[in-house]
């Protein structure tokens, strides 16, 4: 062994190895929960007092794994979990049990083309070249669920690219879609930490028609940019008719609660090519660095 190897060799056994020591010693003391190593004691870690520690862990785990995967930046996709893929649209309509349900299914089916738009945009983004130092940019990232989220991850998987899914623990379990790269499939307990990871590496955002969750994520990011807490990135809104029906952006500006210049934070697009062109122009004009 060289002198350097001897000097650099760790002086202490790693925790993974250390925890195996004395496992076979059985006494009343070792059987007590108090004797468990703190980081192996789930009951202790789940106490209300440990919430700050759980926050730290939920921030740190994805950060380390994304770093190890050489992911420098992401292209984040938001949208409804209820919009069917084109091949599922008619079946949803046929499954409706009453006229009201049928009308809702038809309105959702009318948006099913956005599944293919999201898939194609993700396919384009996922082919962005790996940098000379091996870092990946514009890696497709979604909430990891069905519908638009699935379409995004599926588009990246179509071209054999790694793709991120950031799922959330809900009362009714939502399984990750099958197109998320397994080692980049994360599950969060805290919405706040999930939101942070969506934005930390985001260099572009595509938002499709959606409900409360989509609104929540979109408006939070717009607020971060508007207030200067976050550098500007391209924010692509798909479905102008939908958005103008459910949100009167111009009225917000006319009422003075936002500035008219704030409307420029949004880019209205309809196709995958239009969206990617906005992203390319944004960075070609030097408005921000990719890294």
Q: How many alpha carbons fall within 13 Å on the CB side of residue 46?
A: 5
pLDDT over 70, % of the chain: 94
The bridge status of strand 202-207 relative to strand 74-78 is parallel
Q: Is the whole model's pTM more than 0.85, yes or no?
A: yes
What CATH class is the domain 58-85+113-284?
alpha beta
* Ranges of each domain in the chain: 58-85+113-284
The pLDDT of residue 1: 52
Environment class of residue 173 by beta-carbon count within 10 Å: exposed (0-12), middle (13-18) or buried (19+)? exposed
Q: Which of 9-13, 152-156, 167-171 has the lowest mean pLDDT?
A: 9-13
| Residue 252, number of CB atoms within 10 A of its CB | 15
- The confidence band for 22, taking pLDDT boundaries of 50, 70 and 90, is low
- 249 pLDDT higher than 80: yes
What would the DSSP string read from start to end of 202-242?
EEEEEE-S--HHHHHHHHHHHHHHHTTSS----EEEE-HHH
Spatial neighbors of 41 by CB under 8 A, at least 6 apart, are 33
C-alpha 289/C-alpha 291 separation (Å) is 5
CA distances in angstroms from 163 to 16, 61, 101, 139, 154, listed in the order given: 29, 17, 34, 6, 9
């Amino acid at each position: 062994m060289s002198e350097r190897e001897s000097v650099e060799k760790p002086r202490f056994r790693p925790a993974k190895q250390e925890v195996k020591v004395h496992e076979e010693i059985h006494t009343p003391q070792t059987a007590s929960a108090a004797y468990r190593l703190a980081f192996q004691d789930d009951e202790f870690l789940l106490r209300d007092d440990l919430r700050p520690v759980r926050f730290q862990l939920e921030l740190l785990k994805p950060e380390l794994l994304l770093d190890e995967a050489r992911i420098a930046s992401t292209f984040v996709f938001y949208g409804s979990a209820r919009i069917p893929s084109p091949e599922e649209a008619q079946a949803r309509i046929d499954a409706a049990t009453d006229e009201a349900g049928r009308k809702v299914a038809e309105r959702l089916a009318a948006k099913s083309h956005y599944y293919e738009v999201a898939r194609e945009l993700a396919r384009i983004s996922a082919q962005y070249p790996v940098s000379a130092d091996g870092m990946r940019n514009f890696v497709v990232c979604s909430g990891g669920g069905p519908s638009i989220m699935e379409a995004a991850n599926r588009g990246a998987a179509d071209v054999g690219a790694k793709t991120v899914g950031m799922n959330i623990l809900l009362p009714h379990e939502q399984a990750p879609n099958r197109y998320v790269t397994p080692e980049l499939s994360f599950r969060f307990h805290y919405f706040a930490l999930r939101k942070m990871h969506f934005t930390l590496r985001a260099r572009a955002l595509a938002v499709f028609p959606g409900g409360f969750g989509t609104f929540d994520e979109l408006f939070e990011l717009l607020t971060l940019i508007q207030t200067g807490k976050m550098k500007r990135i391209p924010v692509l809104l798909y479905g102008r008719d939908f958005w103008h029906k459910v949100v009167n952006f111009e009225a917000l500006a006319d009422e003075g609660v936002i500035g008219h210049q704030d409307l420029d934070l949004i880019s209205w697009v309809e196709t995958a090519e239009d969206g990617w062109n906005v992203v390319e122009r944004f960075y070609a004009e030097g408005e921000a660095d990719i890294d």
